[in-house]
Structure 1
Amino acid sequence: MTHQAAIALGQSLRVLSEKPDDSAALVAADVRIGTHTDLAALREFAKGCEAVTFDHEHVPTAHIAALAAEGVKIYPGAEAILFAQDKQQMRERLAAMGAPVPLWRAVSSAADISDFASTVAQARGGTGWPVVAKAVRGGYDGRGVWMLGGLEAASDLVSTGTPLIVEEKVPLRRELAALVARSPFGQVAAYPVVETVQQDGICVEVLAPAPGLAEELAVEAQQLAIDLANELGVVGLLAVELFETDNGIVVNELAMRPHNSGHWTIEGARTSQFEQHLRAVLDYPMGETSLTAPAVVMANVLGGEPGGMSIDERLHHLFAEDPGARVHLYGKQVRPGRKIGHVTVLGDDMTSVRARAVRAARWLQEGS
């Protein structure tokens, strides 16, 4: 999807891919085979590039710093992306900034987790359980996150040796996301705040704009995202995943790349997040971020069980039934529960638009 945006800007992309059949490798002309953890491969890949950026946060921080020290324009930089890679570092920095974060603690034993639950109980009432444990590094789409109901579960998790932080279970109304972009020059652009709907730790729907969100809270969320982008020195996109609570907003996670909560922008915003990310890393002026319709809903297409009609047949029927549904399939191997594409629907009424998007995504997943 970034490649599609690059074409319109007159740019061409070089892609570092582990396999020639990875999604981006299927569409780019200049593909280099290698792994993002191999510094030598990264050095060779970066030769001749005007700028280097990422579609995930798993490139080792030290490798990013090494390339930057050698003169490669690599965005976001190591100093920024660290806070999307390391949840402990992120929580420490955000707390020091005074950003709204849940109660949390770095832990190394079941006793630490039990003590934290007692702290939560004193602050919030109740028993303090369950608590949310997160792997310090590497988690995504619900992986690396555990809901611990008591000491036995805490002991079992600690025994795996995974570096952990624990957080209070936030009594949330819903989840939101604030997406902003920032250029090296320091220009920022904010998209409308969206509601994200999670199922089994995976985002299944994004509603733009977040229905019923008070204007002052929306502005607060956008300003928080802008402040974080500036304070952390982000270049490119920053997605701030938020919890909306009875007492305001709380930061859940950070991502520094085009993000699933922004896929709706391809059709639903004047400038897609993919083009905006390219504008940022190339230090172009930011594009307009307003909505193209009063209601926009993106529904993720997850891999279903094998069998049934082909995806091409499903597309045929879907387009006949709903010509306005916009489909993006990623060319990924299908596995149950894996994100293999998304559908975006635009319109005037959020309820009907959402129903159409969910129905289309389910049809593509299940064929029924």
Structure 2
Amino acid sequence: MSLRVGVIGGGQLARMMVPAAVNLGIDLRVLAEAEGSPAQLAATAVGDYRDLATVLEFAKTVDVITFDHEHVPEEILRELVSAGHSVHPGPDALRFAQDKLAMRRRLSELGVPVPDWAEVRSEDELAAFLEDHDGHAVLKTARGGYDGKGVRLIRDVGESTDWFRILDEDGRGGSLLVEELVDFRRELAQLVARRPSGETRLWPVVETVQRHGVCSEVFAPAPGTTSRLVDLAASIAVTIAESLDVTGVLAVELFETTDDRLLVNELAMRPHNSGHWSIEGSVTSQFEQHLRAVLDLPLGDTATRAPWTVMVNVLGGPSAGDLTDAYPKALADQPNVKVHNYGKEPRPGRKIGHVTATGDELDEAAFEARSVAALLGSDISIAP
């Protein structure tokens, strides 16, 4: 059986697929955007994922194509499928992770709970939405936003003028997504893996903590969850995965509202920051599971290995140099903590690694993980 997987994108997600691929004897190949990418160990090609000829040539070297990110243009994905290449997730699914408006429309059609939303093409339409929602809302670009980019909390139409101007100057028209400002208690994430033959596996629902639009911490499982919430999160994720024909790992980011509802915030059709804890905390990590899924292999057990797992991102900042310089102190101080270094040049707010602690007590695991992140120079402006 041939096991050659091609990953488009050379970021940390592709990098973290490498150990899982080695263990399973999978020939992992990466189309990286530039030399020296985080996934350089598996980078067999360097080129522009927006160039059809480059992507088609890369696809000839593997049995299945998957992704480190969702930015490959839809037309290129469809050309890959037309040329007979196996693509997971496919373009019909991936478009809902690429286009927030398409995602909101489809989830609404499926009856999946989402915030109140509207597509707006002008400041007048935005003004009408603000008037109906107590004068404040969340405005998003339909494409391209992540880690807080392409998202604005607005209280006045004037705060959107530049975005509408860009849409007008583009010459193709366009629209923005506006949503109610959700009164939420906390943010959660539910990961599910699905293989082409239909088998699904769920990890425990987790709590995610955001700082300035960037994920800072993840607690697995989410503390204080009721069986009703667990069942609802699972039902939402499986419904989306099956209805959109998602293959691979799907991350469903959720709001737990103050009136005990769950609303879908975002979707990611690939391994996700909210699932990094699973490397140490789960029988099968999200990275191994993603490879199993896209190859249509039986999925692994997702049970937890410890009562609690805490993941803390290491973010570039003024004191973040080469992470290895801090290893002697950090590794000696907390030997229970596992460090993942992405090999990235640090800059303010950039994810350059993460640390994970497991244990019987949540507070102790959180303290250990936070301590090591701080010793590694994580940006204190968004650290807990």
Instruction: Measure how far apart 1:178 and its partner are.
Output: 0.2
1:139-166 Cα offsets, whole Å, 9 max, x none, are 0000000111112213344233274110
Over 3 Å counting, the alpha-carbon distance change for 1:366 and 1:14 in structure 2 is: closer
Which residues of 2 match residues 291-330 of structure 1 at below 5 A? 291-305=304-318, 310-330=322-342
Instruction: Measure how far apart 1:209 and its partner are.
Output: 0.3
Contact 2:323/2:376 (CA < 8 Å) preserved in 1? yes
Aligned equivalents of 1:79 and 1:105: distance in 2?
22
Contact 2:93/2:245 (CA < 8 Å) preserved in 1? yes
SS in 1 for 2:376: helix
Aligned to 1:333: 345
Aligned to 1:140: 146
Which residues of 2 match residues 202-351 of structure 1 at below 5 A? 202-245=214-257, 246-305=259-318, 310-351=322-363
1:245-286 Cα offsets, whole Å, 9 max, x none, are 123100000000010000000000000000000000000001
Aligned to 2:10: none
Aligned to 2:58: 45
TM normalised by structure 1 equals 0.94
Aligned to 2:208: 196
In structure 1, stretches of 5+ residues that fail to align are: 121-127
Aligned equivalents of 2:289 and 2:135: distance in 1?
41
Tell me which amino acid in the other structure corresponds to 1:8.
Answer: N
Aligned to 2:39: 24
CA RMSD of aligned residues (A): 1.5
SS in 1 for 2:242: helix
Aligned to 2:9: none
Instruction: Measure how far apart 1:119 and its partner are.
Output: 2.6
Which residues of 2 match residues 121-160 of structure 1 at below 5 A? 128-160=134-166
Aligned equivalents of 1:37 and 1:17: distance in 2?
12
Residue 179 (1) aligns with residue 206 (2)? no
Over 3 Å counting, the alpha-carbon distance change for 1:163 and 1:332 in structure 2 is: farther
Tell me which amino acid in the other structure corresponds to 1:159.
Answer: R
Over 3 Å counting, the alpha-carbon distance change for 1:367 and 1:277 in structure 2 is: closer
SS in 1 for 2:65: coil
SS in 2 for 1:159: helix
Over 3 Å counting, the alpha-carbon distance change for 1:263 and 1:367 in structure 2 is: closer
Contact 2:315/2:378 (CA < 8 Å) preserved in 1? no
Aligned equivalents of 1:300 and 1:240: distance in 2?
19
Aligned equivalents of 2:135 and 2:77: distance in 1?
39
Q: Which of 371, 374, 380 does residue 359 from structure 1 map onto?
A: 371
Aligned equivalents of 2:75 and 2:316: distance in 1?
35
Over 3 Å counting, the alpha-carbon distance change for 1:132 and 1:366 in structure 2 is: closer
Residue 61 (1) aligns with residue 74 (2)? yes
User: Which is worse superposed, 172-181 or 59-68?
Assistant: 59-68
TM normalised by structure 2 equals 0.91
User: Which is worse superposed, 10-19 or 252-261?
Assistant: 10-19
Aligned equivalents of 1:17 and 1:192: distance in 2?
32
1:16-70 Cα offsets, whole Å, 9 max, x none, are 0121200112x11x51011111111000000031111001000011111110111
Contact 1:314/1:367 (CA < 8 Å) preserved in 2? no
Tell me which amino acid in the other structure corresponds to 1:101.
Answer: V
Tell me which amino acid in the other structure corresponds to 1:249.
Answer: L
Instruction: Measure how far apart 1:352 and its partner are.
Output: 1.6
Aligned to 1:70: 83
Q: Report % sequence identity.
A: 48
Aligned to 2:27: 12
Contact 1:109/1:155 (CA < 8 Å) preserved in 2? no
Instruction: Measure how far apart 1:12 and its partner are.
Output: 1.4
Aligned equivalents of 1:69 and 1:342: distance in 2?
39
In structure 2, stretches of 5+ residues that fail to align are: 1-15, 168-173
SS in 1 for 2:64: coil
Contact 1:179/1:262 (CA < 8 Å) preserved in 2? yes
